[in-house]
Amino acid sequence: MKIQDLLNKDVMLLDLQATTKEAVIDEMVSKLSEKGIVTDFDTFKAGIMNREAQTSTGLGDGIAMPHSKNAAVKEATVLFAKSNKGVDYEALDGAPVDLFFMIAAPDGANDTHLAALAELSQYLLKDGFADKLRQVTTPDDVIALFNETEEEKKEEAPAAPAADNQDFIVAVTACTTGIAHTYMAEEALKKQAAEMGLAIKVETNGASGVGNKLTADDIKRAKGVIIAADKAVEMDRFDGKPLISRPVAEGIKKPEELINIILDGKAEAYVAADNTAVNEASTAEKPSLGGAFYKHLMSGVSQMLPFVIGGGIAIALAFLIDNLMGVPKDQLANLGSYHELASLFKNVGNAAFEFMLPVLAGYIAYSIAEKPGLVAGFVAGFIAKSGLAFGKVPFASGGKASLALTGIPSGFLGALVGGFLAGGVILLLKKLLAGLPRSLEGVKSILLYPLLGVLVTGFLMLFVNIPMASINTALNTFLENLSGSSAVLLGLLVGGMMAVDMGGPVNKAAYVFGTGTLAATVSSGGSVVMASVMAGGMVPPLAVFVATLLFKDKFTKEERDSGLTNIVMGLSFITEGAIPFGAADPARAIPSFVVGSAVTGALVGLSGIKLVAPHGGIFVIALTSNALLYLLYIMIGAVISGILFGMLRKAK
């Protein structure tokens, strides 16, 4: 398949009218939807926007390649669009973009179209090709230009193999979706190497798999290695070779700089990390301490949340079943397990909850120290959950204090500390054991790291659990007694936090705190904090709908259409639906969203509404302690935020 087979003349836009990034995307997606290539506008656009959130597909030199491999796509298609004015697309070079290639790839299709998409990058990097594209006036001109350039490519002499006296380097390119940036970086590196008189072999880690895979002989002969990747690639094969690792965007925009670092001997020799295949150095600079903490914490939280969500909703259904089937007043203490069916749901949910803290600690440690940290982290999480501790830690056992290794669980906070502790222990062990002979590398991974990591982390956790259990107990007691002004203030705080960055660190901090309260409160009907968090998170998207409905003259048609989709997102507790509006007008949108979310959170806290499910929005509304009042408070917050946003917004 050639790129000309994917360039559909019926969807080309040779005079784009949009003047902003999102409006450009909307105009192109609308064209694909109009011609039946995309079956669901919102689903496909969401895929495009998610890709843009990772790295701008504005590649520089006036070219952008937004792309998504998406279930809403019927057939692989490339939409070419041209703006006669230029658009601020947040391109990597900061310059306006006037040439757009929107790549729509279907899920589950064969990968022949990916070869054609890789070919597109070869055309775009060819000298003068982009300038010729800017002069086309009809779709037929576009196809003719590609055909003409294809004939010129066939006449070009193939690259000669590396001569004995010629420098030879190898590279690996990879982007998160494996469609566009992967091959653009490949072509940029190959083109630059040819200009510098070098031989190069580039391996692509694309959506269709590994292409042009580097052999052991290639790596042995190479003077150095360039990794231009935004995701993990196989790294251990480069052990001992000079290596530089940068984002894939730098492979596209700075190929000469990367190559010169290798040629000038400025790249450090790579040291394999005990047979793991993770590329930790995907950025040019080390993250800050706060950035590293957040990264490791979110690695653990992202792995933990499925257990919290699955287990929490299963337990919530147990309470719902018992409520529907009826429980005698003298048996209310057994609510959730009184009827056999409810008990089954609760047991399944409890099984998932049992894994919550070990998984959190395990994957925090894994993020810090890779695979060797996993077992030590799991042990730390289990100790936090079970409450093992040294010394006389009081607990309910006949009114006596125990001298055994038993105590009070330190819960979410203990597991969090334990995960970082386990990761730090493994990093320390790696340094201490670094002097062992190479012949013992296998022994380190299989025996020494697991054994010493478990023992050292485990014994340290027996001490750590004592203060963390005290803090956890105090926090749980506070949450159990939450009422009046304390509940209002806490609800106001976490509700407002959900709207500050709508999916960013502040939002995640509030959500993680809310889910952390579930384990201790699920047996008593749920958490007021979790209820405030979810209600606050539902407000911003619903506020967008309110604003676009009441203040139509202040929003474009595309924005009003997007406002309708935000109903579904808001009701589904997908706060991120409001991000485009917050990003486009942060000074007016974000304060408006925060006010409404904070009011909703405070009202939920004031009424003491509890929730046992950590996610689900409207779909788990029956699992709140007062569904009608809960919905009313969400509507109040949405109306407040919507009116504020609409009043502050400038008319279009």
Catalytic residues: 67, 175
Assign 321 to helix, strand or coil: helix
Q: Which structure tokens are listed for 133?
A: 């594209």
For residue 238, which of 285, 294, 279 has the smallest C-alpha distance? 279
Residue 535 to residue 444: CA distance in whole angstroms: 49
Could you tell me how many residues make up the chain? 652
Tell me the one-letter amino acid at 281. A
461 neighbors 421 (Cβ within 8 angstroms): yes
Residues with Cβ within 8 Å of residue 59, at least 6 apart in sequence: 65, 91, 92, 181, 184, 249, 252, 253
Tell me the one-letter amino acid at 147. N
Paired strand residues for 68: 104
Residue where the block lists tokens 């925060």:
594
522 neighbors 312 (Cβ within 8 angstroms): yes
Q: How far is CA 345 from CA 313, 319, 518, 621, 624, in A?
A: 9, 9, 17, 18, 17
539 neighbors 641 (Cβ within 8 angstroms): yes
Residue 609 to residue 335: CA distance in whole angstroms: 17
Phi and psi at residue 535, to the nearest 5°: -60, -45
Helices (H), 125-254: 129-133, 139-155, 181-195, 216-221, 248-253
Residue 487 to residue 430: CA distance in whole angstroms: 46
Q: What angle do helix axes 627-648 and 528-550 make, rounded to 10 degrees?
A: 40
